[in-house]
Chains A and B, each alone.
Chain A
Amino acid sequence: MKLFKKPITIGMNVFLMTFSLASVVLLLTSIVFLTVFTGIVHENIETQAKEINKQIVLNFESYINSIIETADYIQFGSVNLDAETDAATIDSLFRMNTEIKKDMVSIFLFDTAGRKIAGPTLEFATGGSVADKDWFQTALRIPEIYNFSTEQGSSVAENRSEQVITVSRSIRFKRAGREESGVLLLELNYDMITDLARKTNLGEYGHLMILDDQGRLLYTSETGEPRMTLLSAKEASSIFLGSRRVTLWNTDMFINVNTLIQTRWLIATVSNINGIRNAVKRLALIIVLIYSVSIAICATVAAVISLQVSRPVSQLKTAMLKVEEGDFSRQASVSGQTEIVSLAHSFNAMTGKIRELMARLVSQQREKRKMELQVLQNQINPHFLYNTLDSIVWLAEHDRNKDVITTVVALAHFFRIGISKGETFIPVGNEISHVRNYLTIQSIRYVNKFTYDIQVDSRLLGYRVMKLVLQPIVENAIYHGIGDEDDGKIKITGTIENGYMVFRVWNSGYGISEEKIREMYETMRGNPEKPSVGIRNVYQRLKLYYGDEAEVIITSIQDESTTVSLRIPLEPKEERDE
């Protein structure tokens, strides 16, 4: 169950489906095949065993029929003979038939009292007691049939010691012109059963048995193992008629019981059919082998198919994850199933489109920003130019020609750097001299109003920085920081701190309140209602270009000083694009 709690991948699913379907089909096929085969083998072997049994029974039947025929012939031949007057003829008839058939031991005719009417000389010991014999009594009791019996043991004839089967029947005969009842006795050599049974091959421990009407064993061909016969005889006498498959002593046997014609005996053949078990075992082994090989092949094929289906899908999935993370540059390269490949193509077309759209968007944004920057840069110039021209006019009015020259030269420098051939980024050194020019101009305009000092880390000079970021701050310091007071001080520093260039514009003065600082931040961040154009302009330009890394920080100590710090990321000294 735990297996199913996990989400199942397509590949796993395809594999499981294919594999289980194939193994179910294979298993069913194997089982059906084995069952059918076993059935057929059983049927064949049983048919064969039955045929053997039939053949044996037929042999016995034809033998018994020949005996019956002889008996009938004797009977019929003596119908018109008189036991008294034709005694010699009857005797010769009996003798002749005894001689013709080698297994016929003797033929007798007795009257109902057991006295011999015809036949050879009786054995002295048994001769007088014929009437007490079982075969004699039975013949009288059931007159309509021939009675077969083995109870007599050895022959009743003189000098014949062989084991015999007695065939007795009550008949009518003539004596002295009168019809009388009597008993005809034929003695058969017991060996005839052995002779008839010998020809059969019933396999190892297979044997033939004859059971009498009481279920007693009259004969068995099994000579090696008496216990085997004990078991099979018990089985056979419970079958009565027909066949049964049994296991005797771990050996599969097929018992076939048939009647023996003219007798109430049963003849049973016990055939060894262990071969079936071996054949089935062997076949089962082969099937298991075929099954395992097929399952292995099937598993491999299932795995390959599932890989073919799932690999392109998982490739596509990887590509999609990348896109999810924002990487549109990757092309999903998928091979395998056509459907998924075309899906991948569509996906690639889509990401391509998105990438294109994004590129266009970025360039559009950049254009827009550039334009904004330019607009912001251009905002500064008119203010300053107006003020400076105003102070030059003032200087000229007061005939301060030298100052006019200094101012005009500084202004020229100032503008040259300010224009910088239209570039937005200039070396830090240029930016500093730009500020210096500005301060020169302003210090002429506001004589004795402030002094200034510039200290910049020489390492900074090589870096580039967005132009015209310091001047507005300084301008701010002059107009708002120092105010109307004389002897103001302005200090400008440039340092490298933690990978940033930090410019600090410090000025003495009243300082500004916390509230004012908050207002200034607000103004910087975009409240256009407020004045203080310069610092807002710097702030927005820095943010526009450097993003969150650039920062403008205003700190103040009441009645003492104000510091505005610019934190700008250090950029590589090389020229960046634009």
Chain B
Amino acid sequence: MNKNPVRQFNFRRPGIVASAVVMIAVVFAFSSCPAHTPAAGIFVYNESDPFMHEFAEQIVRQAKGRFATTLYYANNSQLIQNEQIEAERAKKSDILLVNPVDRLGAFAIIRKMKAENVPVIFFNREPLAADLALWDRTFYVGARPEQSGQLQAHMVIDLFGGNPDAPNEYDRNGDGVIQAILFKGEQGHQDAETRTTEVLRSFEKAGWKVELLGMEIANWNRDEAYSKAGSLLAAWKPALELVLSNNDDMALGVISRMRQEGWFKDSNGNGRIDQKDASWIPVVGIDGIADARESIAEGYLYGTVTNNSLQMAASIVELTEMLLGERSEQELSVPLTDGKYIWVDYQPYISR
């Protein structure tokens, strides 16, 4: 008689096992799939670029509470960046924010993301217009490179009195021509080329004569600028009236060398470098990094052009929100140009 319950027990056993398995699977499925918060991958070309480092941190800070972010630095290798993008795509992020290592690398990224229908916002290194035009869900947030050179030139023109025919005392030898040396970021680099061309062209346009005594390529790097400044400074010390740099970091490197060579003195003893001192000449950079602002406050660096990374980060976050459908185009603090670009203005930043 009691064989029956035993048989039923045996009979049910597979059912118990199966339902246990199903339950475990369900629990796992739910635990691994929480409510979806939008996620963005941020890809920056190099961590050791202080400006980009600050910029990326700014984006992360401003995105907090709006969407999740994962930050990648590519160590200046498009190869690594490609890998990072693939890894991030495996996580099914909703949007990519890319500061490409190689502007042409954007071509493949755009085509891939178009195929996967994931929007991309490029920033701070502009892809080719033709590549951006491949898809209406690719954008660029950045500053117009030519503007930085123009502002840099005008900053100097203001210092020299504004009248090309009668420059003030900063034209140390009084020959009506500004003797200058220039530190270029990279040969062939779009920004370096543009900044270099634009700063010189702006002087010319305003009627100012600038004699370029020498040019060095220091790869945007402070140390490299420091070492490469040595020979230039030695060769042109008495005649030199202006140092132009494609970025702040190189400008600071040059300043270090100049201090060693006897430039910059606090002649009135107010704890600040005296611009009126006969040995003082202006050094101007671009970017407005923290070290540069400090140097300006101390009186070494005359001025810089601030790449308004705060505003750029804000625009990137806003644009991301727009693409996620949480913000309308009208709510962007800097409007879209041609439906693709957000141009954030550079701002001059000089010592007072």
Contact = CB atoms under 8 A, between A and B. Distances in A.
A20 B14 CA distance: 9
Contacts of A257: 108
Contacts of B29: none
B9 to A, nearest CB: 9
Interface residues of B, number: 35
A43 to B, nearest CB: 12
A259 B105 contact: yes
A20 B190 contact: no
Given A20-B13, A243-B86, A145 B187 contact: no
Contacts of B101: 261
Contacts of B112: 239-242
Contacts, number: 88
A35 to B, nearest CB: 14
Contacts of A264: 104, 107-108, 131
Contacts of A20: 13-14
Nearest to A172: B197
A76 B193 CA distance: 11
Interface stretch (B30-38, B75-83, B251-259, B265-273): B75-83
A262 interface: yes
B115 interface: yes
B17 interface: yes
B115 A238 contact: yes
B104 A263 contact: yes
B82 A259 contact: yes
Contact of B108 (A79, A145, A259): A259
Nearest to A239: B112
Given A76-B187, A264-B107, A258 B85 contact: no
Contact of B79 (A8, A58, A145): A58
A213 interface: yes
A13 interface: yes
B79 A240 contact: no
A522 to B, nearest CB: 48
Contacts of B79: 54, 57-58, 61, 258, 261
A261 B102 CA distance: 6
Nearest to A142: B128
A173 to B, nearest CB: 13
A352 to B, nearest CB: 27
Contact of A259 (B6, B104, B215): B104
Given A17-B10, A240-B111, A262 B102 contact: yes
Interface string A232-276: 000000111111000000000000011101111010000000000
A372 B1 CA distance: 48
Contacts of B103: 145
A8 B17 contact: no
Contact of B215 (A58, A79, A146, A241): A79
Contacts of A238: 115
For B13, B89, B111, B193, which residue has the most chain A Cβ atoms within 10 angstroms?
B111
Interface string A113-146: 0000000000000000000000000000010111
Given A76-B217, A242-B112, A259 B107 contact: yes
A258 B7 contact: no
Interface stretch (A67-75, A151-159, A563-571): A67-75
B144 to A, nearest CB: 14
Nearest to B100: A259
B109 interface: yes
Nearest to A213: B107
Contacts of A57: 79
A50 interface: yes
B234 interface: no
B198 to A, nearest CB: 13
B7 to A, nearest CB: 5
A259 B78 contact: yes
Contacts of A4: 7, 11
Contacts of A243: 86
Given A262-B102, A262-B104, A241 B188 contact: no
Given A262-B104, A266-B108, A8 B6 contact: yes
A7 interface: yes
Contacts of A263: 104
Contacts of A239: 112
Contacts of A146: 188
Interface string B106-124: 0111011001000000000
Interface string A44-84: 00000010001001100100000010011101100100000
Nearest to B111: A240
A238 B116 CA distance: 11
A34 interface: no
Contact of B187 (A58, A72, A258): A72
Nearest to A72: B187
A176 B11 CA distance: 101
Given A58-B79, A264-B107, A241 B187 contact: no
B190 A144 contact: yes
A98 B107 CA distance: 31
A24 interface: yes
A437 B275 CA distance: 177
A71 to B, nearest CB: 7
Contacts of A240: 108, 111-112, 115
Given A54-B79, A262-B102, A242 B187 contact: no
B102 A241 contact: no
Nearest to B212: A80
B205 interface: no
Contact of B104 (A13, A61, A79, A145): A145
A16 interface: yes
For B13, B89, B104, which residue has the most chain A Cβ atoms within 10 angstroms?
B104
Given A79-B215, A261-B101, 4 more contacts: A7-B3, A61-B78, A259-B108, A261-B102
16 contacts: A8-B10, A13-B10, A61-B78, A71-B188, A72-B188, A75-B188, A142-B128, A240-B108, A241-B85, A241-B109, A242-B86, A259-B102, A261-B79, A261-B101, A261-B102, A264-B104
Interface of A: 4, 7-8, 13, 16-17, 20, 24, 50, 54, 57-58, 61, 68, 71-73, 75-76, 79, 142, 144-146, 213, 238-243, 257-259, 261-264, 266
Interface of B: 3, 6-7, 10-11, 13-14, 17, 78-79, 82-83, 85-86, 89, 101-105, 107-109, 111-112, 115, 128, 130-131, 187-188, 190, 193, 215, 217
Which 5 pairs across A and B sit closest by C-beta, in order of nearness?
A72-B187, A240-B112, A242-B86, A241-B112, A264-B107
